[in-house]
Structure 1
């Protein structure tokens, strides 16, 4: 049984905005106190679409990591690392590419979408087609069984699950596997061993999913099994061999409600963002010039909050009493648009204040953030080495 471990990451795109904070980083901060977490700067992934312009990658990496720490990601609780500093990512990517069918990659949901969206770029590269294999390697390298995603991203994880399933099927057939599994069952004790056999039979003969879950729970609670025996019995339960790479599960996160300054989703491509560490004057100016309900041409014209992008920000930042004040004041023309925007400005600045404070030491001394990443890379490599030892052995590449 592999421990619960979270793997998540971002491409280095430079300084982050409040959409990143509400959509991803707030959740990371929460998860780090609940699970072992690894947060990855996906710099190799950036090359799949930006291979022709690498000039800003390095600066973008450090700006982004400072924003992570500013948002509350704690390097004492989580490993923060750079993908390319852990070469095992490349090794596992190569090995997985040897057994991943081409047809799987061509039917990945995002492949054709990205080809269409980025039609102005030449994406006929192996790296772009093989992106899902690299993504799978990122997750499987740490046996990261939990991946935080929104509901719309769940299908993207299925290829990682399929690759892990195929790998275990091809390479989990160790010599004497069934005999070793039967010996492990005896170690469970008569009563638990018999129950395990019953559950295994129910799942494999009748496809009883409840029996599969009960069998997994039984193994998770077993105290007298070695790590190797536990892995064998997980594989034996499902009808395969030894489980070398676990199938990841989505850790569903709530969809971000963070709108941009124009009412669309906050995105750099729309030019409607507020950066995590934007100065107060700029924040105030951006919000003050936000468009409002077109019906409010003059101060005494009544409006409708539902037609105003500022109201969407109130949904994120304001309490019920403030929202009631906005609805009543807007519909009756009792308040003007600048008055309506003031509580939002104050709330955004209050949210940003601790971010500035947390970022300051790293801005004054950049070596501090580099040391954090160096430590995170070493922590990540320790886990990566363990996985690759087992992968090489399973694929006949250990040469001991």
Structure 2
């Protein structure tokens, strides 16, 4: 029986582009929530390899290589294939077919106005040379969400406009078919947003090379923390320091379980009398303790790639059955000819 079958639980769709191994930003932003939510929700986790091609078409082998890497990260952090269904996007043809259908119900102008797409186009420096697949990402995302009939989508705040546009398409299709063919979805935005990079200049990103991967060893973790941006005017431990914009405190807020201790450290840092070395030492220990079991579990799973492939095959087969059923419902609702 599929992990999510015969359940009246709310349906979650989440996932990642396989452009590289996952990192601490993914962990705090989504992975640890997925581990918790899989016990109370029907959760589908999509490895979005087709979507990753929208800005990686020149190097498709990079995407192929990282599908297993991302799956290893999922399993290592505790995503349980008996509770969550892990699917590979490119092996679900209904998603591409629904995308093509949905593109008939949205204009180019509306796609270009989507704030998420506008920001990403600018960040990537596409100018007017925008890959068509990238521009059409909101329609493809709508296909992903609706194919699984997901009602809860964990996303960062910057991705919320994608969910809004998905719901626009859903409402239009429901009006056109005269029934509640597809459910609207709600964005679930984590309390802690995206982690900054260690240098504090941008968000933590695989593509920018400023991330701490989940597979990092103790030496790599210590080196990353050592490079973290603090307060450039905090030259001596006795000097008052700024907490705001201090990357070490941002990470302590995200990962230190002792909230009162962090609050006390902030007060001491602002007053003066707490050095950056002591702060970084504390954070290093916390991150090393967090990642050690994940790293060990990942290494163990990597020695059995057939098991990981079986997880993907089983999850994708279950996802294919569900998404094909939704596609046929949409086609029937739109009155399309079927042989």
**Same fold flag (TM > 0.5):** yes
- Change over 3 Å in CA distance of 1:296–1:69 after alignment to 2: same
Q: 2:210 aligns with which of 268, 272, 276?
A: 272
Aligned residue in 2 for 1:245: 182
Using the TM superposition, give the Cα deviation of residue 386 of structure 1 relative to its aligned residue in structure 2, in angstroms.
1.6
Using the TM superposition, give the Cα deviation of residue 81 of structure 1 relative to its aligned residue in structure 2, in angstroms.
0.7
Q: Deviations over 1:336-363 (max 9, x none)?
A: 4333322111100111122123313321
How far apart are the structure 2 equivalents of 1:112 and 1:43?
A: 22
Matched, 1:355 2:294: yes
Q: 1:394 aligns with which of 313, 317, 333?
A: 333
Residues 263 and 312 in structure 1, CA contact (< 8 A), matched pair in contact too: no
Aligned residue in 2 for 1:367: 306
Residues 115 and 123 in structure 1, CA contact (< 8 A), matched pair in contact too: no
SS at structure 2 position matched to 1:8: strand
Q: 1:279-358 counterparts in 2 under 5 A?
A: 279-297=217-235, 301-306=238-243, 308-318=246-256, 319=258, 320-321=260-261, 324=264, 327-328=267-268, 331-333=271-273, 336-358=275-297
Using the TM superposition, give the Cα deviation of residue 394 of structure 1 relative to its aligned residue in structure 2, in angstroms.
2.2
Moved over 6 A (4+): none
TM-score normalised by structure 1 residue count: 0.74
Give the RMSD, CA atoms, in angstroms.
2.5
TM-score normalised by structure 2 residue count: 0.86
- Change over 3 Å in CA distance of 1:123–1:110 after alignment to 2: farther
SS at structure 1 position matched to 2:184: coil
Q: 1:49-60 counterparts in 2 under 5 A?
A: 49-60=55-66
Aligned residue in 1 for 2:20: 14
Aligned residue in 2 for 1:232: none
Residues 317 and 347 in structure 1, CA contact (< 8 A), matched pair in contact too: yes
Matched, 1:256 2:199: no
Aligned residues: 328
Using the TM superposition, give the Cα deviation of residue 314 of structure 1 relative to its aligned residue in structure 2, in angstroms.
2.8
Larger Rg: 1 or 2? 1
Using the TM superposition, give the Cα deviation of residue 142 of structure 1 relative to its aligned residue in structure 2, in angstroms.
1.2
Aligned residue in 2 for 1:40: 46
Q: Deviations over 1:199-250 (max 9, x none)?
A: xxxxxxxxxxxxxxxxxxxxxxxxxxxxxxxxxxxxxxxxxx2222222222
Using the TM superposition, give the Cα deviation of residue 397 of structure 1 relative to its aligned residue in structure 2, in angstroms.
3.7
Structure 2: tracts of 5 or more residues without a match: 1-7
